[in-house]
A and B are shown apart, each in its own frame.
Chain A
Amino acid sequence: MSSSQTTTVNDPHLDNTTTTNNDTLPNNNSQEPSTSTDSSQYRSSTQYSFKPPPENSKTSTKPDLDDNEEEKRDDSMYVCNICLDIAKESVITMCGHLFCWPCLNCWLETKPQRQLCPVCKAAISKDKVVPLYGRNNEKQQDPRSKKSPPRPQAQRTEPDNSQNYQGFQSFGDAGFHLSFGIGAFPFVFFGSSFNFNDIRQRNGQNGSQFEEDQFLSKVFLWVAIIFFCWLILA
């Protein structure tokens, strides 16, 4: 049973061309006597997870805990189909494919418009995956409820435009005051123009910044006047 099962887990048979003839291989892995009927795939995947212990899989390096061989045999069945490591925060799709929740979530977010199982391309959705709780699962918490790790971000450095940014910031502040304080409008307006002065002083002097602030002040002045007229007329 484990042989065919493992093969499916490790080798998705995504295209009809992957003709693996695992079962015909003679077994030549003498270092693992317990696994007598396994395919090469099985063997290799076990070795990945055990021989050079990966940074983050504690289970594989723990020498104590009961039956080590038993553990070895079973682990490769629980390899995530995306990261190819032992699945963490495991979930299983309705089509029976196993993933780490963070891995599957990242896949679903990569292709929000076409939510397909990465192995068999069955339609899947976030709500229809089943979290797997083993006996020793510390807290039986639905992995989907946890915050998933931050999405990979593209490498992009922002151009240095802190000056403009300051300008925008003060503009934003002023806007905020305006929308909240129609009643006390003129005061807030004066308040915000004081702000401009403050910022200008704090920033040290910069011609364009100054002009920008001047311009903004004028804009606000006009906005204020129009508002005032409207208030009076209405």
Chain B
Amino acid sequence: MAVNMAVSRIKREFKEVLKSDEIAQCSIKLELANDNFTELRGEIAGPPDTPYEKGTFLLEIHVPETYPFNPPKVKFITKIWHPNISSVTGAICLDILKDNWAAAMTLRTVLLSLQALLAAAEPDDPQDAVVASQFKDNYEMFCKTAKHWTNVYAKGPHKFPDFDAKVQRLRDMGVNDFDARAALSRHNWDINLATNDIF
């Protein structure tokens, strides 16, 4: 019974999302990743006036058998620099995906809440402690880094040639692209600190 309930609800929700205004505005997207409505792909647009603006962020959504009584499991596939999202795994710290889930919430409200999370980070309840402390201690650096990640991983428009150059220098030393960028981001783009961190 539980399986049927989860599947029939996802089917209804799926149609709801397809007809929603947000789809029309290309603000959120939802598609099936398998045939039995348990794995889905979400997509959210970075909200305007944030470092994520004009970026496109992909999400992996797993619907448990006990849905909607338990929340869907969601994580970012697209790499993102945000206090409440792990820069490494994409794991999300958001109350409604944990204790504050309610059975009347839908995948649409989840996607919209994630969009809202991008617009309003909560550094005091972080998933990624390094990002959160940068957010609090050096907000300007945080914004630049987040914009850079949006550019590199989410097709955002803002290029940072000096950041790219530093990543290239570490790559020349044999570090892979992501590790180089993550280390530099963690150390406010100080290449010496980043190098020490890696080697």
Contact = CB atoms under 8 A, between A and B. Distances in A.
Interface stretch (A16-24, A69-77, A171-179): A16-24
Given A84-B9, A116-B102, A118-B102, A40 B20 contact: yes
Interface residues of B, number: 30
B21 interface: yes
Interface string B94-125: 00100100111100110011011000000000
Interface stretch (A43-51, A138-146, A209-217): A43-51
B70 interface: yes
Given A45-B16, A84-B12, A149-B1, A14 B109 contact: yes
Contacts of B2: 152-153
The interface residues of chain B, by DSSP majority, are classed as helix
A106 B70 CA distance: 11
B8 to A, nearest CB: 7
Interface in B101-160: 102-105, 108-109, 112-113, 115-116
Interface string A181-218: 00000000000000000000000000000000000000
B125 to A, nearest CB: 15
Interface string B56-84: 00000000011011100000000000000
A188 B70 CA distance: 51
Nearest to B11: A48
Contacts of A21: 21
Contact of B66 (A15, A54, A83, A152): A152
Contacts, number: 89
A129 interface: no
Contacts of A92: none
B42 to A, nearest CB: 15
B116 A82 contact: no
A120 B8 CA distance: 23
A82 B103 contact: yes
A82 B68 contact: yes
Contact of B69 (A12, A43, A106): A106
Given A18-B109, A118-B103, A152-B2, 12 more contacts: A14-B96, A20-B20, A40-B19, A41-B16, A48-B12, A82-B68, A84-B16, A85-B12, A103-B103, A110-B66, A149-B1, A150-B1
Interface of A: 10, 12, 14-18, 20-22, 25, 40-41, 43-45, 47-48, 54, 81-85, 97, 103, 106-107, 110, 114, 116-119, 121, 149-150, 152-153, 155
9 closest Cβ pairs, A-B complex: A152-B2, A17-B116, A118-B103, A118-B104, A81-B104, A110-B69, A118-B102, A44-B19, A119-B104
10 contacts: A14-B109, A14-B113, A17-B116, A18-B108, A44-B16, A83-B8, A85-B8, A97-B104, A110-B66, A152-B2
